[in-house]
């Protein structure tokens, strides 16, 4: 069951990370945004956006990698949990600073903040063996 849930969760960084890396016409159509490249601030923002999309895609790939042997991947799951949790804290800070985003992002924030609970589930699997 933990493997199935991790697979479902892994779809989010895999799909959104890939979409964030795609050329502007594709990703801007999906996200409903358009960054003009004649503005230096937009060029930097676009560069950072695609960089972090690549990291997000990498998180999804690592999650796929640990799924088959999740009960043995204690350190990898801890590191993923830390990264995802810190990202959720970043979203909370954004909400406090700039306001409440689309409800989907509130849902994602909840998942990100709760993701470390997967460590408890993994520990129970190890004890059961």
pLDDT digits (tens, 9 = 90+) for 57-68: 999 999 999 999
Q: How far apart are CA 18 and CA 38, in angstroms?
A: 24
What is the reported pLDDT for 26? 57
CA-wise closest residue to 66 among 26, 129, 9, 127: 9
**What's the total number of domains in the chain?**
1
Q: For residue 52, what are its two tokens?
A: 């972090």
CB 68 within 8 A of CB 6: no
**Residue 13 contacts residue 63 (beta carbons within 8 Å):** yes
110 or 126, higher pLDDT:
110
Cβ count near 70 (within 10 Å): 20
Measured CA distances, 77 to 11, 34, 46, 63, 67 (Å): 16, 35, 30, 8, 10
| Res 69: pLDDT | 93
Average pLDDT over residues 73-81: 92
Which pLDDT band, with edges at 50, 70 and 90, does 28 fall under?
low
Domain span at 78: 2-128
34 CB-side CA count, 13 A: 4
Q: Could you give the count of Cα atoms lying within 13 Å of 59 in the half-sphere of its Cβ?
A: 26
């Amino acid at each position: 069951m933990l493997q199935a849930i991790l697979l479902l969760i892994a779809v989010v960084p895999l799909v959104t990370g890939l979409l964030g890396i795609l050329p502007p016409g594709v990703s801007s159509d999906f996200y409903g945004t358009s960054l003009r490249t004649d503005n230096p601030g937009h060029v930097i923002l676009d560069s950072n956006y695609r960089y972090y999309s690549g990291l997000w895609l990498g998180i999804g790939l690592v999650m796929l990698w640990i799924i088959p042997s999740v009960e043995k991947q204690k350190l990898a799951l801890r590191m993923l949990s830390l990264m995802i949790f810190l990202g959720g804290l970043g979203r909370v800070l954004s909400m406090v600073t700039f306001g409440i985003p689309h409800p989907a992002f509130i849902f994602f924030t909840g998942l990100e903040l709760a993701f470390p609970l997967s460590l408890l589930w993994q520990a129970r699997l190890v004890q059961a063996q």
